[in-house]
Structure 1
Amino acid sequence: MTGTAAKKLPRAERREQLLETAQAIMGETGTDALTLGYLAERAGVSKPIAYEHFGTRAGLLIAICSAYDKRQMQAQREALAAGGETLEDVASIFASSYVSCVLDMGPAMGAAFAALSATEETADFRQSLRRGYVERYREGFSRFVELPPNDTAVLLGCLGAAEALAQDAAAGRVSRDEAVEALAGMFTATLKRYPAKAG
């Protein structure tokens, strides 16, 4: 740690190092031990550096989950650019990218997202993430079907299924492939109830 503390990193690299250290802490002990003071100690930096980057523990949790969300979006964009020619394709891409990202990030991410409900600030951020997922689903699926006026409720239901199946896969209750197949099937069955778009 001493070498890390002595080395001055550019701000972006230091932030990335702190986020990686925070994820390691969550993986080892869960979110309860994740404080800015402990993060600074584990990363080999002074407390003011951790506070300068995240401000509060809530700010740290938001940064961790925001990084996860960006990773999820990138995976979806790349997969959709490479395929996504049918409703079934898009359903499979959304299902696979969601489950894979949850599994790649490990079970600690579920705890991090759960911890976002603890304060008004983090709860608002969590809702903004959910709105983002709904918007991406709307954009992807509306290419193929006429979504109903209450499409937000429908798409939130799709997201709820994604959250539940991904967490079951992370906990080992179902395999990754089982979760992806079931989720893609749910997306497809839900959306095929609506009129197909011509062309």
Structure 2
Amino acid sequence: MSSVVPVEESIDPQPRRRLARGDRYRQLLDVAWQLVSDEGTEALTLGRLAERAGVTKPVVYDHFGIRSALLVALYRDFDERQAALMDAALRESEPTLAGRATVIASSYVDCVLLQGREIPGVIAALAGSPELEKIKRDYEIVFIEKCRTVLAPFATTGTIASPGLWAMLGAAEALSHAAATGEISAGDAQEELFETILTMVARN
């Protein structure tokens, strides 16, 4: 008499783990950055993000609503990391003009390089809308005021004029972008920005 081999019960795969809202938001931002890196900013849509992240479209729409909100979230994410990097470096730096200028130059360039070529595309996308451009400008003003506060003690007048700070920011963006695209080295970008900051302070 042959023995009957019992058929193994099928085992259902583990249900997909539901992430907490904050963790899901972080995951979607990380996937969005990767998507921009792989396919460019033009490919960044909420539907494409859902596909890449392995979630349904309503999940992505619940977090961002519209594409412009996602772009703003990416820029905010970049800005917050840049600010944290700079603040940490300032706490450890020498309280001299050279020390402060080195921190501003190195932290700005380093943060752009950490994000790679993605951030210029996000910035360009933000510039395409007056509303988004204003949001970007608001973050730039915060950065400029921080630099003014950090550098003012080393200026003869006790403050740094706004035109010089805006020129410094323009140089920081251009030099960082050139370093990110390999046109110049990171060291050259930092050194040129460092010299730009020293010249700016000397004129005040």
Structures share fold, TM-score greater than 0.5: yes
- Greater relative contact order: 1 or 2 (C-alpha under 8 angstroms, separation 6 or more)? 1
The equivalent residue for 1:175 is 185
- Gaps (5+ residues) in structure 1? 195-199
Map 1:91-130; keep pairs closer than 5 Å. 91-130=101-140
The equivalent residue for 1:197 is none
- Structure 1 residues 191 and 149: alpha-carbon distance in aligned structure 2, compared to 1, 3 A threshold: closer
Give yes or no for contact 2:32–2:49 (8 Å, CA) kept in 1.
Answer: yes
- Structure 1 residues 190 and 96: alpha-carbon distance in aligned structure 2, compared to 1, 3 A threshold: same
Could you tell which deviates more after superposition, 89-98 or 145-154? 145-154
Opposite residue 182 of structure 1, the aligned amino acid is E
- Structure 1 residues 122 and 179: alpha-carbon distance in aligned structure 2, compared to 1, 3 A threshold: same
The equivalent residue for 1:158 is 168
1:36 and 2:49 matched:
no
- Structure 1 residues 140 and 92: alpha-carbon distance in aligned structure 2, compared to 1, 3 A threshold: same
Compute the displacement of 1:122 (Å). 1.1
Compute the displacement of 1:150 (Å). 7.7
The alignment's TM-score, normalised by the length of structure 2, stands at 0.89
- Structure 1 residues 150 and 186: alpha-carbon distance in aligned structure 2, compared to 1, 3 A threshold: closer
Map 1:47-196; keep pairs closer than 5 Å. 47-146=57-156, 151-194=161-204
Q: Alignment partner of 1:74: what SS?
A: helix
The equivalent residue for 2:8 is none
Alpha-carbon distance in 1 for matches of 2:16, 2:132: 33
Compute the displacement of 1:6 (Å). 2.3
Q: Alignment partner of 2:121: what SS?
A: helix
**Which of the pair has more CA radius of gyration?**
2
Out of 14, 31, 34, the position equivalent to 1:24 is 34
Q: Cα RMSD (Å) of the superposition?
A: 1.8
Opposite residue 181 of structure 2, the aligned amino acid is A
> Deviation per CA, 1:104-155, whole angstroms, max 9, x where unpaired?
0010111111110122321111111211111111111112214588822110
> Deviation per CA, 1:65-87, whole angstroms, max 9, x where unpaired?
10110000011111110014111
Opposite residue 186 of structure 1, the aligned amino acid is T
The alignment's TM-score, normalised by the length of structure 1, stands at 0.91
> How many residues in Structure 1 have an aligned counterpart in Structure 2?
192
Alpha-carbon distance in 2 for matches of 1:131, 1:71: 16
Alpha-carbon distance in 2 for matches of 1:139, 1:93: 14
Alpha-carbon distance in 2 for matches of 1:26, 1:153: 33
Opposite residue 42 of structure 1, the aligned amino acid is R
Q: Alignment partner of 1:143: what SS?
A: helix
Alpha-carbon distance in 2 for matches of 1:90, 1:135: 14
Compute the displacement of 1:47 (Å). 0.7
Alpha-carbon distance in 1 for matches of 2:35, 2:17: 21
Opposite residue 18 of structure 2, the aligned amino acid is K
Could you tell which deviates more after superposition, 79-88 or 139-148? 139-148
